[in-house]
Amino acid sequence: MNKQETLEQLDLDAYELPEKQQSELNQFLKICREFMDHCDDEMVARAFKLCYASHQGETRASGEPFYEHPIEVAKIIIRELGMDDVSVAAALLHDTVEDTEVTLNYIEQKFGSTVANLIDGLTKISGVFKNKGTKQAETFMKLLLTMAEDLRVVLIKFSDRLHNMRTIQPLPRKKQLAIASETMELYAPLAHRFGLFQMKSELEDLSFKAMDPTGYKFIARKLRDKKESREAFIEEVMNPINKQLEDSGFQFQIKGRPKHIYSIYKKMMRQQKPFEEIYDLFAIRIILDDPHTKEDCWRVYSFITDWYTPIPERFRDFISVPKANGYQSLHTTVITHTGKKVEVQIRTKKMDEVAEKGLAAHWKYKEGSSEGKNIERFVHWIREVLDNPRPDAATEFVEDFQLNLYTDEIYVFTPKGELRTLPQGSTPLDFAFEIHSEVGERALASKVNGQMAPLRQELKSGDQVEVITGKKVNLSADWLNDVKTHKAKARIRQFIRQQEREIADKGRELWEKKASRSKLEISDQELSKVASRLKFPSLHKLFYDIGAGAYDVTKLYKYVKKYKDKGRFSDDEEKITPKDAKDSEDNAYEIVYDESTLTSASKGLVMNGEVTDVKYSYAKCCNPIPGDDVIGFISREGDVKIHRVTCKNTRHLIQTDGDRVVDVKWAPFTGDQFTGAVKIVGEDRVGMINDISNVISKSLNTNMKSINISSDSGMFEGTLILLVKDIKHLENVIQNLQKIDGVKLAYRYE
Ligand code: MN
């Protein structure tokens, strides 16, 4: 008898679990009863037994028995999502059909069609996730379509991933990164879209922790350090209010939780601000216990504004007008007596659950007796979005679609209803180039949601876009500022270069005519020297300026003639030095130092724990430095490109070309010098550049490759490209830069 037959002939009701597992089952049923109004204990017990029997002998990477995983997933389903017994059974059996001998038929026989359908849906969904060839948007659509049949499938899938993320530690690093980046790219945004806010936050934090343990620990430690002062602040603000609330018979809780770790990190990166500034942005939440009502929220609001001055523009009433995803709360920002601003959110306990758990809370607070109603409504909502992507048809749904978006992408539709993914901030021009480069080149105007709209208008998710094209190419260099996508930018740049070339050719023609008429003979090489004397970056640029009418060809002729006559340049100028190179006209200059300071000592790459002589190089996108968490990608030529783990491209590559990932480590000391970029911001004062150069030159063995500074209304912003030994070295230099008088900010920059 094979294993399948053995398993399927089990009499699950009579099957006796070993003592340990029996007591686990009892414990499990207790949790079910605690969280569920109705629970088919017998069905759950049968599912539990089959889960144990079918996974018997299997272990997880941690060495723990495998069956514990589905049990933990089921517990998330019960405790964190408040789902029903059918979902619990499906969660217990979610890996059986894919990984064991158990068949779908058998599950249908023993547990009914609902459980079987859920498991079937889960098996299908995992196919969608595994199929990495498809574009992300398509995957997303497929997923939505699959889940729309039964939302519970998605919730179980998320719980499965959440547990896998919680227990990711024992896996090899490469696998951890693959799972974490997929979670970040796919699961977290989807969880957010489905209103599973708490789950989204945890998924993000766990992924971040796996991808960048150092960064995670840094913020976690800072949060711990700040806990006391945060609590003291809340107490100070809330003390007078608390008393009044208690006197008026209110039952409530105060929460002042800071944002989750990854969102703090993201904000620090995006706004380039230190932890302290981001961290301060937390809201105080007043949550009224049952059976307080929305009217009570308004009373609390009036207590608060009696005591503190509210900022009227910051007031939001999401109670009377809930967000489309069901979020309800009153938001007000008040000024405390110490002059600090703080946001206060007031809501009932039910509203708070919706805010934290979104959809899952709707589930819990089922209205009336028909528990399926909310699921139905949600499924209806998704279908509506899919069937009617045009805002005029279903404004509310599409609005919600937007509210729920937090990714860097927007989803827009062609006139035929096809979905296109574009980066946030894209315009109809991006859309046009996305459709076809010819459509982009000939774009004249666009219609957004049926209305004429400028080509440079920013698009929103859910917009339906139509591009009106002319017969001829209409592309203009100005468009470069109106597009976001790489595709559009590349095409426009190509166009600009082509145009420049034509103008430069025209300039050369003008010059050659002039020269030949005057019988002046000069080689390109000599002319290049002239160009650089005249401070043109290249001969090409000189010709371009002539062609464009920005530089007089006669002027050039006179200059060249003088040079020819004397056999040298007459007006020998000072060589440009960093100190006085500041170009007064546009307030920007650039100094490029000799690159010969870059050593190329290669001591071999430590790959998968072994020193190899594989050729390798450092990725230009993220410029890794010893001390950074790094990873290698084998290129098609067989050499290895080293990226930082936190690099955006890394995330993408892990997903699309996971097979090419190799674990790499820094050799103890390579002797190489590494490129590190530092952004520096401060007051624009006399001698600042000097001070910066001094700090660099006094920092041991630091070489400056380039410095690029621009200033505007009393402030300057600069980028220094330095050559350093390792991360500590770079941090040291940054610390010294920060000490310069007038420097506001100095930080590493990719
Ligand atoms: Mn699983």
**77, 443, 445, 648, 741 from 687: Cα distances, Å:** 63, 50, 51, 37, 10
CA of 91 to the centre of ligand 1 (A): 8
- Coil, helix or strand at residue 553: helix
pLDDT computed for residue 568 by the predictor: 65
Both structure tokens of 625: 């430095």
522 CB burial (10 A radius; 0-12, 13-18, 19+): middle
> What is the three-state SS of 392-446?
CCCHHHHHHHHHCCCCCEEEEECCCCCEEEEECCCCHHHHHHHHCHHHHHCEEEE
CA of 380 to the centre of ligand 1 (A): 28
Angle at 647 between CA 646 and CA 651, to 5 degrees: 85
CA of 608 to the centre of ligand 1 (A): 28
CATH of 674-748, one of 3.30.70.260, 3.30.360.10, 2.60.40.10, 2.40.50.100: 3.30.70.260
CA of 166 to the centre of ligand 1 (A): 12
Averaged pLDDT in 10-residue chunks for the chain of 750 residues = 68 86 94 86 93 90 92 92 87 88 88 89 65 45 52 85 95 90 81 75 94 90 82 84 86 79 84 74 82 85 87 81 72 83 87 70 42 47 45 35 46 72 88 92 85 86 82 84 87 86 91 88 85 86 86 86 72 39 32 28 56 74 80 76 78 70 71 81 81 81 79 77 85 87 79
CA of 386 to the centre of ligand 1 (A): 28
Does residue 210 contact residue 176 with C-beta atoms inside 8 Å?
A: yes
Angle at 430 between CA 426 and CA 432, to 5 degrees: 140
pLDDT computed for residue 280 by the predictor: 62
pTM over 0.95: no
Handedness of CA 484, 183, 174, 631 (dihedral sign): positive
Q: Look up tokens 């959110």; give the residue.
A: 345
CA of 211 to the centre of ligand 1 (A): 21
591 CB burial (10 A radius; 0-12, 13-18, 19+): middle
pLDDT computed for residue 398 by the predictor: 32
CA of 94 to the centre of ligand 1 (A): 6
Does residue 661 contact residue 655 with C-beta atoms inside 8 Å?
A: no
CA of 52 to the centre of ligand 1 (A): 14
Both structure tokens of 116: 């079987």
Q: What is the spatial distance between Cα 307 and Cα 337, in angstroms, rounded to a whole number?
A: 9
CA 305 distance to own-chain centroid: 37
Q: What is the spatial distance between Cα 126 and Cα 273, in angstroms, rounded to a whole number?
A: 39
Cis amide linkage into residue 291, ω under 30° from 0: yes
pLDDT computed for residue 655 by the predictor: 65
CA of 645 to the centre of ligand 1 (A): 26
Q: What is the spatial distance between Cα 193 and Cα 623, in angstroms, rounded to a whole number?
A: 34
Q: What is the spatial distance between Cα 244 and Cα 300, in angstroms, rounded to a whole number?
A: 9
Task: Using only the alpha carbons of the chain, give its radius of gyration.
Answer: 32
CA of 643 to the centre of ligand 1 (A): 31
The helix (run of H) or strand (run of E) holding residue 270 is helix 261-271
Both structure tokens of 502: 């034509």
CA of 160 to the centre of ligand 1 (A): 5
Q: Among 617, 579, 603, 600, which residue's Cα sits nearest to residue 707?
A: 579
Q: What is the spatial distance between Cα 266 and Cα 281, in angstroms, rounded to a whole number?
A: 14
Q: What is the spatial distance between Cα 128 and Cα 516, in angstroms, rounded to a whole number?
A: 69
pLDDT computed for residue 241 by the predictor: 85
Q: What is the spatial distance between Cα 56 and Cα 374, in angstroms, rounded to a whole number?
A: 37
Residues listed for the chain: 750
Does residue 275 contact residue 230 with C-beta atoms inside 8 Å?
A: no
DSSP designation for 38: S
CA of 66 to the centre of ligand 1 (A): 9
Does residue 286 contact residue 346 with C-beta atoms inside 8 Å?
A: yes
Does residue 177 contact residue 208 with C-beta atoms inside 8 Å?
A: no
Helix axes 136-148, 372-387, angle to 10 degrees: 140
CA 403 distance to own-chain centroid: 17
**Cα torsion through 115, 121, 126, 128, rounded to 10:** 180
- Coil, helix or strand at residue 331: strand
Fold of 3-170: Hypothetical protein af1432 (1.10.3210)
**Strand ranges in 456-565 using DSSP code E only, listed in sequence order:** 465-469
Domain residues of the chain, as ranges?
3-170, 494-566, 591-666, 674-748
**Active-site residue numbers?**
98-99
**29, 61, 93 from 56: Cα distances, Å:** 21, 15, 13
**308, 389, 607 from 382: Cα distances, Å:** 42, 10, 47
